[in-house]
Amino acid sequence: MSKYINYGKLIFDLLVSSWLIFLLTPVFFILTFLVLLKIGWPVFFVQVRQGKDGKPFKLIKFRSMTNETDEKGNLLPNEKRLTNFGKWLRSTSLDELPELLNVLIGNMSLVGPRPLLMEYIPLYNDFQKRRMEVKPGITGWTQVNGRNALTWEKKFEYDVWYVNHVSFLLDLKILFLTLKKVMQREGIAHEGDLAMPRFRGNKEGDIYNGLVDSDQNESQF
């Protein structure tokens, strides 16, 4: 398992991500043009996220929201900034395509726990911290078992399960199931909400409170 994580997984990620980037180059150009036309500049949503061992890196995605503000200069609520085109991007998971660049660079893997916000790290208990023992992924065991429809507690359980069982065959299975899930557009939202609730820690009654108030919670593939 350690040989696969340290060598085989890296080679697999590099080969597949470079091949997909080459194959999907026309799609990248078309989506770039459409984002510029329908949402505006900048084309990409870039945010610092947790990498392996909690090291920060910049996640790259296509933008799905505008930067519209109120008269005081504050960003409007998510539901007012999310365009119909942005909803379509999320529902198809095409907003995640630029993350292939993160895989090619080496700060993400094709398969692994999703990269979360840096501010969550101090809130993890010892069990939850184990999700950072491997590189974060574009998709993972959590995503093919419920995606955003899951509670945070269940997500962490699935993430750590993957860390304990990571293998080449498991990664292939997750990639196959991911394709199926994306085609079915399952689990995009959390109980009908626009965004997955922000993780607030492990105190009883405080785990699932509060919604993300900016364009920092995208679809989870």
How many domains does the chain divide into? Answer: 1
| Cis previous bond, 42, omega within 30 | yes
Handedness of CA 155, 143, 47, 72 (dihedral sign): negative
User: Which pTM was predicted?
Assistant: 0.84
Please give the DSSP secondary-structure letter assigned to residue 88. H
Provide the residue range defining the domain that includes 61: 2-184
202 inside domain: no
Amino acid 211: pLDDT: 33
Q: Of the given ranges (49-58, 154-163, 180-189), which has the lowest mean pLDDT?
A: 180-189
For range 52-68, the mean pLDDT: 94
Amino acid 1: pLDDT: 62
Residue 149's contacts (CB-CB under 8 Å, 6 or more residues apart) are: 186, 187, 189, 190, 191
Amino acid 203: pLDDT: 60
Select, from the ranges 3-7, 156-160, 177-181, 211-215, the one with the highest average predicted confidence (pLDDT).
Answer: 156-160
Indicate whether 201 pLDDT > 90: no
3-state class (DSSP) for residue 5: helix
201 inside domain: no
Q: How far is CA 82 from CA 159, 190, 215, 220, in A?
A: 29, 16, 9, 16
3-state class (DSSP) for residue 40: coil
